[in-house]
Chains A and B, each alone.
Chain A
């Protein structure tokens, strides 16, 4: 019998080179994901990593697990399908703020309330990078640097963690790409927590939002223990500045999974048609 050496995070990196701009926060998220998976200790083949479309959605190809790079906005639906069909797999989904909260907004809400056991990493840079820098649902209303909205959007941004809490997510955390080891911890906690886990990662876009380099100064770790009651989490998040990192909510709802039963054969079912 051969002794298996544990996989390191490097074993979870593929040889495909990211197309991300140098300086992009997504590099750190990739590092965090691989570190979390190394600590998780499951074989690579038992992990499925699902994404949609956008810069950050390229991430599965940069890892060495089974992956699906689907269409824009539907990562959570594919991920739910994978987990519901194969409860034995560890399922991760990832994408950006546009993919997850705009075109995929409906799936986001329902993924939170459906509470299938999976972990969703939103790399939030408040901009659409792949289509040349348009405002996203998390962009501030007065951001004027897009040709589509030269006067700003004038629309209140959505706060992903508040939305997730309202919709019923069972685990909510926020991390910052500048602290990949902390993000790794949050991802691992999310994976180990039953039900749907949201890991909201502030991940700067150095190309369209160079000012986000200053996020390093803005983020601050939560000094509270994670809220376990929705009311408590709501109260805290109501006055949150959007830069608090750490586990923000850890609920105790049971994960959704239809039971697998063998109560009848197809022949049994067919007999009902016979008159």
Chain B
């Protein structure tokens, strides 16, 4: 549909290897010089559950899934009804099925796409050690026009160490699938891979967030595993270990956030990663970090909520708790990456901001970015690294919470002679001594609010593209579909501006007013049930009279076509 990309879904249950095949396809696309994106959808089973690898391969950088898949390769139909809604197909899409698995089931058939049969299981069984997913992968590669060589080179790299036999079996199955595909109906094919000389990275949003934390200067992480944030930690654990830092697994999120507070109090830039339920447990102590002015970063990889919700699928519904969840007046930072590569930049920036402002920063990533892998150009270096204002030794009458022009006070790090103080979550005076006096409360509240409000966040507060009387205001992973929609709308003669907020807190009224200057209509795009972002905008910013909202809960991603249609309706 886009003309520069092809979308492929590989599905199957119980060890059919759909995810592995998808991973190989993405790696091969990278080898062949394409850009790409892969997300996944999984059932709740630890092993053997239904799984889908959802790919889009492109000749230029992309930030969103497409409206539909050009090719669906189904190794089997187990539990397909559970996620058929996540597999939209068009009339000219092709469903490749194994005749042994029976008819195309109703939830897929309703899309009205073409179907073709490929006896993957029987082909695989004819090859010693042959696997169904390799047969399907070979067929898919031929159908979308991805050179088989690129897949073979990935297979060699990945299976080489497992021995000749394994590699030979996989290669044979792949070739058999490719040969069988010759007689299949045609599918949208990939164009020529761009020869842009850009070094490609194959990275997930969670890995990118981990890398961003490390590049920002994080040296200590304490965390408790939780889906879908765990991969941030899994990447950071060996990375920190190799680079002089440490990651510690805590007994729960109450412990992890407090260990992080301890690490940061001791002078070491510290962070944790979690998801909604973990963030909820951390909120009391985030208030402690605010009151005690202890910098730290929490990466929240959002999933469907409330409660345990849908751990494996995406939603933007932690916005409210991230913004409003702390008790008391607790100014803090909320930073939202709006693409997989921005998971790196935004997290790195959040480390810098938290350290500079001596306050906690919540990074709102989500499952859609976190667990998606993208083929992107190697990210440019970002200048933002942790730099804390620390107190020199032996300051006479040292006041940890001194009222300063910027609101930021030099922090004495344990080991610094002469400036010992007690950090406190109780309201305190400038020295840190507990105080319930109105004047101390007022001045410390003012200080903590002022340091955030007075800081210059530069242009990074939002990504603004285009200039028009219509503006689409969005954030986080909803940004990708918006960007794609605006390109398509432009082709149809509809101009719209995009404002994607990266800095959720503190609010930036002057900058938003400038960005909305001349804008007559605003379309808000977000992935929540209760329009959390829309309400947030209403509460803090002046919007024009004409406002429309596209807000849907997870797990279905926002599709570009829906946005284009809404813009077209306005016109």
Contacts and interface: CB of A to CB of B under 8 A. Distances in A.
Is B truly associated with A? Answer: yes
Interface of A: 16, 43-50, 58, 60-61, 64-71, 73-74, 77-86, 88-89, 106-107, 109-110, 258-266, 268-270, 273-275
Contact of A107 (B255, B260, B416): B255
B479 to A, nearest CB: 22
B417 A69 contact: no
Contacts of A85: 219-220, 246, 262-264, 266-268, 270
A66 B211 contact: no
A275 B203 CA distance: 10
B288 A70 contact: yes
| Residue in B27, B292, B419 whose Cβ sees the most chain A Cβ within 10 Å | B292
Nearest to A12: B420
Contact of B220 (A46, A84, A109, A262): A84
Contacts of A259: 241
Given A65-B420, A80-B262, A81-B261, A110 B255 contact: yes
B200 A67 contact: no
Nearest 7 Cβ contacts at the A-B interface = A81-B262, A81-B259, A85-B263, A77-B258, A67-B422, A78-B262, A275-B30
Contacts of B416: 45
Contact of B285 (A47, A74, A83, A266): A74
Interface string B201-240: 1110001000100110001101000000000000000010
Contacts of A50: 262
Interface in B241-279: 241-248, 250-252, 254-268, 270
A269 B433 contact: no
A48 B414 contact: yes
B422 A68 contact: yes
Interface residues of B, number: 67
| Residue in B243, B292, B418 whose Cβ sees the most chain A Cβ within 10 Å | B243
A258 B200 CA distance: 34
Contacts of B264: 81, 85
A137 to B, nearest CB: 17
Contact of A74 (B258, B267, B292): B258
B417 A84 contact: no
Contact of A106 (B251, B259, B262, B378): B251
B426 interface: yes
B246 A260 contact: yes
Contact of B420 (A66, A69, A262, A269): A66
Given A71-B285, A266-B214, A269-B243, A274 B200 contact: yes
Nearest to B245: A260
Given A77-B259, A80-B222, A275-B31, 18 more contacts: A16-B433, A45-B415, A48-B414, A61-B432, A67-B420, A67-B422, A70-B258, A70-B285, A71-B287, A71-B425, A74-B258, A86-B263, A86-B414, A260-B246, A269-B211, A269-B239, A273-B207, A273-B211
B199 A81 contact: no
A262 B242 CA distance: 5
23 contacts: A45-B415, A46-B415, A49-B422, A50-B262, A61-B422, A69-B422, A77-B259, A78-B262, A79-B262, A80-B255, A84-B263, A85-B246, A107-B251, A109-B251, A261-B241, A261-B244, A262-B244, A263-B241, A264-B243, A269-B239, A270-B211, A273-B211, A274-B200
A121 to B, nearest CB: 16
Contacts of A110: 250-251, 255
A82 B250 contact: no
B83 interface: no
Contacts of B292: 68, 70
Q: Is the interface of B mostly helix, strand, loop or mixed?
A: mixed
Contacts of B558: none
Given A270-B211, A273-B203, A86 B415 contact: yes
Interface of B: 27, 30-31, 199-203, 207, 211, 214-215, 219-220, 222, 239, 241-248, 250-252, 254-268, 270, 284-285, 287-288, 292, 375, 378, 412, 414-426, 432-434
A64 B267 CA distance: 19
Contact of A66 (B220, B258, B260, B414): B414
Contact of A260 (B244, B256, B260, B423): B244
Given A78-B265, A89-B415, A262 B243 contact: yes
A45 B416 CA distance: 6
Contact of B258 (A81, A86, A88): A81
Contacts of B424: 61, 68-69
A69 B428 CA distance: 11
| Residue in A16, A68, A81 whose Cβ sees the most chain B Cβ within 10 Å | A81
A82 B270 CA distance: 11
A86 B239 CA distance: 19
A204 B270 CA distance: 38
Given A86-B414, A258-B241, A269-B242, A48 B199 contact: no
B248 A84 contact: yes
Given A106-B252, A258-B241, A265-B243, A69 B425 contact: yes
A264 B238 CA distance: 10
B414 A45 contact: yes
A70 B417 contact: no
Contacts of B287: 71
A70 B261 contact: yes
Contacts of A263: 241-243
A159 B260 CA distance: 30
Contacts of B202: 273, 275
